[in-house]
Amino acid sequence: MQSLADAIPSSRTHQQRESYTADQWKCYDFLRQHTARIEIAVDIEIQRIYFPIRPECNYISEQKKSSLMGSVDRESQQTKVNDLMKSVPDLIDEMNHNEALQNATVKITPVILMKLKDFSTQVGGFISLT
């Protein structure tokens, strides 16, 4: 829909909330929140590329995000894209891992792990006493 609005200026009026019912607006808003775009300069012309944002992307840590932003070489467009593409497999692995941890049926957090450790120490001490 955004591509149409970019190509046909008169279709921008259809992106206003007033032109939708409540259910249609929910659908449109969902699509708008779960898609993104990048702009690529090809020759003199700027092309807009729209793509879906996968749900796993919500599971990237702020620390990893800031680390990536600080480590990408922005000397030129080529080096910026190359550095970003080199880090993509690690980002995908982390996001998938964080999503799996978040959606696990049994969540073992550091707090629970410490409680298990304390409990096992107490059980070991009780067994030793008996």
Mean pLDDT by 10 residues, the chain (130 residues): 67 71 85 86 84 87 87 86 89 89 81 91 94
* Contact status, residue 44 vs residue 9, Cβ threshold 8 Å: no
Instruction: Note the maximum CA span of the chain.
Output: 84
Pairing relationship of beta strands 45-52 and 35-42 according to DSSP bridges: antiparallel
For residue 37, what is the enclosing H or E element?
strand 35-42
- How crowded is residue 71: how many other Cβ atoms within 10 Å of its Cβ? 9
* Contact status, residue 95 vs residue 57, Cβ threshold 8 Å: yes
The reported pTM is: 0.58
Per-residue confidence (pLDDT) for residue 124, from 0 to 100: 95
For residue 81, what is the enclosing H or E element?
helix 77-102
